[in-house]
Amino acid sequence: MKIAVLIFLFSTGVFATDGCRLWFDRSKIEAGSDCLTKCTVFKTDLSTFSCPERCSEFCESKSPVSKLLEKVAYYPGLTLEERKLISQYPKEALKAFLAKEKAESATMKQFKRDDEADESDAFRHFVWAGLLTKELGPEMAKKFLDAHESNQGSDNAERAMDLANNRAGLLAAERLQKNGSLTEDQIEKEALAALKDGTLIVLKPKGGPL
């Protein structure tokens, strides 16, 4: 009886989370062209007999791109649209979120803060849009920007501000591209100029950059 209770508790503790994921990790199968083959034939038992059906998912998640994505993307904060883009375009998603990190670092460097609805927010959106255009082209950039803003729960005015500042960044990046001067530095300079001349929308001004 005690053994049965232990087995039950162990099963609910381990397999209530993702038993197949654990089964795959224990297999120590590495990412590569033969991942699927090895995974499909890896030994299973009564509790893991259906796990080989998820081999394509596990093999993809073992890829270097997926591992890097886990470091640069806060998964619980992703919108449904972002999750779809990640599964469709994982390499582009990695570039998108690395560009997001750069935009956030640039914001903190200029403003010594990373806030909502103020000048730092406007700058961050503009720069991210510009960097995305540089890395992925305007169409893919817009996909990721719109996906990030697709959360229905966000405030309408703040969402409108973000979309407008994204658009300003996309347009600026396209202009810079035509001039052959689409660099990170130039994108940031354009963002600061746009803030100064009132092109960017700022709902709650706080001042800056410093």
For another protein, the binding residues (CB under 8 A) are 2, 6, 9-10, 13-14, 16-18, 21-22, 25, 70-77, 79, 108-109, 111-116, 120-121, 124, 148, 151, 153-155, 158-159, 162, 207-208, 210
Using the minimum distance from each CB to another protein, give the nearer residue, 175 or 204. Answer: 204
CA distance 55 to 160: 41
CB 75, CB 48: distance < 8 Å: no
CA–CA separation, 20 and 188 (whole Å): 46
Give the relative orientation of helices 138-148 and 80-88 as an angle to the nearest 10 degrees: 140
Nearer to another protein, 118 or 190 (CB): 118
What's the closest the beta carbon of residue 35 comes to another protein, in angstroms?
19
Q: Which two tokens stand for residue 69?
A: 């994505």
- Supply the minimum distance, in Å, between the C-beta of residue 171 and another protein: 22
CB 172 within 8 A of CB 187: yes
Tell the smallest beta-carbon distance from residue 45 to another protein (Å): 16
Least separation in angstroms between CB 182 and another protein: 26
How far apart, in whole angstroms, are the C-alpha atoms of residue 5 and residue 14? Answer: 14
The smaller minimum CB distance to another protein, of residues 36 and 68, is found at: 68
> In the Cβ-directed half-sphere of 121, how many Cα atoms lie within 13 Å?
17
Q: Considering beta carbons, is residue 91 or 206 the nearer one to another protein?
A: 206
Residue 61 CB, shortest distance to another protein, in Å, is: 9
Which CB atom, from 14 or from 193, has the smaller least distance to another protein? 14
As a whole number of Å, the end-to-end CA separation of the chain is 69
